[in-house]
Amino acid sequence: MRAHRLQLLSVAILAVATAVGPVLADTPTATTSNVEVAASEVDRTLDRITRELTATESEIDKTRSQAETVRRRMLARGRAYYKATHVGLLPMGAGFDTLIAHSTRAERLRKSVERDVTLVQELDQSRTALLERKQKLIARKVPLEMQVKAMAQARAALQEADDRTRAFDRAFASSTGTDHVAIYGALAQNGPASPDEGLAAGMNGFRSMKGKLPFPLAGRAEVRMVNRAGAGGPGVEMRSPPGTPVRAVFAGRVAFSDEYANYGRVVILDHGEHYFTVSGNLGTIEVKVGDDLAAGNRIGTVGGNGLNRGALYFELRHGGDTLDPAPWFGL
């Protein structure tokens, strides 16, 4: 799914670059505004070419009809001229004046046939030129229609990305109290805490876990501090085999559960009092927005790169501010 979304965004960039030229072709990312401008330009061009194509097809039909009319008239005149010029059909016994009139009529028929022949040739040439023009217009129209389709996909992909960004930011915009969450305590190093431990921690709130916050991964994991683009502060990268269960470090409600930018598959938990944990680079997501989780509940698994190398990215936030996780984990 993520690869498909990235492909759609690539289509967006390509469609914008193709439609509006080298200025936007150098732009590394497409924006909704750029796509709308490009789509408008493509629509105008396609509309103009479509109208030209319709007019050309009308001219082709008109020229074909005219040529057929002239051909029928030419055949009729040709037959009349044949009769007027062959022996046995001449008015030999009707007098000199009649013969002259007959000859004059035959000459007019001959010239009319010649004009018809010339006109048919001109109409055929015009029709050939119109057919060539039609093919050129079609050759221009087809890629434009593909661009229109690409633009529609681009708009959908960018709108989806914008919606996801707003949802991600909105997850940190407000926070609930602690009354709505199940309070069984934080995750111990070897599994969920006991109910008594969880009750005490839940009543004191998330801030009471500073210095003793458990890791979201059980077992051995290589831990290092990292700074991820767009994070606004430090996070923790925990290296563990792909598929390793990732658990909630404290009771909370799922505020975001989707793919997002540099985080990959990510889950945001709202722990109350504007405290949030962010678990990114997940291989799978096992919760949905609105789920109430106890400490120790699974939220997903560690993602990997196909080489049996996995790493969970973890952040702590208070409101929109990224907190240094080291003192919370006692590092």
- For the domain that residue 199 is a member of, what is the CATH number? 2.70.70.10
Domain-embedded: residue 139: yes
Domain-embedded: residue 179: no
Low-confidence ranges of the chain (pLDDT < 70): 1-32, 87-99, 102, 167, 169-204, 230, 305-308
Domain boundaries, position 265:
187-329
* pTM of this prediction exceeds 0.75: no
Residue 41 is predicted with a pLDDT of 86
Beta strands per DSSP E along the chain: 187-188, 191-192, 222-227, 234-239, 245-247, 252-260, 264-270, 275-280, 282-285, 292-293, 298-302, 311-318, 321-323
Residue 176 is predicted with a pLDDT of 56
| b/e code 171-190 from CB counts within 10 Å (16+ = b) | bbeebeebeebebbbbbbee
Domain-embedded: residue 173: no
Residue 178 is predicted with a pLDDT of 45
Residue 263 is predicted with a pLDDT of 87
Residue labelled with tokens 């936007």:
24
Residues 196 and 139 in one domain: no
Residue 270 is predicted with a pLDDT of 94
Residues 89 and 196 in one domain: no
Residues 197 and 155 in one domain: no
Residues 38 and 78 in one domain: yes
The torsion angles phi and psi of 181, rounded to 5 degrees, stand at -100, 150
